[in-house]
Amino acid sequence: MADSVISGNDVFSHTCLGASDLAASTKFYDAALGALGIKNMGPFGDTCVLYGKDKPAFLVLKPGNGEAPSSNGVTVGFAAASAAEVDAFHAAGLAAGGTDEGAAGPRGHLPGAYAGYLRDPAGNKICAYAFV
């Protein structure tokens, strides 16, 4: 079950999260996702930044309708290779302007789950999970 929880690569083509301040969000995601080996693949126009390992899969963008980003109830989870990678993700995200939404550590709801939760500068909730 643990593998199926973190490997949905064959289900989604990409995920988007809105950002009010694209520069602040880029700084945050460069740090937090960089700790997971996910890189900034550059801008897509002047309102979107692409992230991925070998292809764009996560997009941070200003909402196309001009309204404020809103993600209440949404969490985007990133796969981590180890508990140490989760720790690095959480620490890097906090240092780059994110806020703590759940310290890195074991989670009791899934066997071997280790996760850390953050809110990005726009208030989106993200996490990193490893199964150890």
pLDDT tens digit string along 27-86? 999 999 999 999 999 999 999 999 999 999 999 999 888 888 877 678 999 999 999 999
Give the span between the Cα atoms of 119 and 98, in whole angstroms. Answer: 6
Give the pLDDT of residue 1. 38
Q: Which domains does the chain have, with CATH numbers?
A: 2-63+75-131 (3.10.180.10)
Give the span between the Cα atoms of 129 and 47, in whole angstroms. Answer: 28
Give the pLDDT of residue 10. 57
Residue 115, token pair as written in the block: 């996760």
pLDDT tens digit string along 1-20? 344 444 445 567 789 999 98
100: part of which helix (H) or strand (E)? strand 99-106
Instruction: Name residues whose C-beta falls within 8 Å of residue 83's C-beta, 6 or more positions apart in sequence.
Output: 104, 114, 130, 132
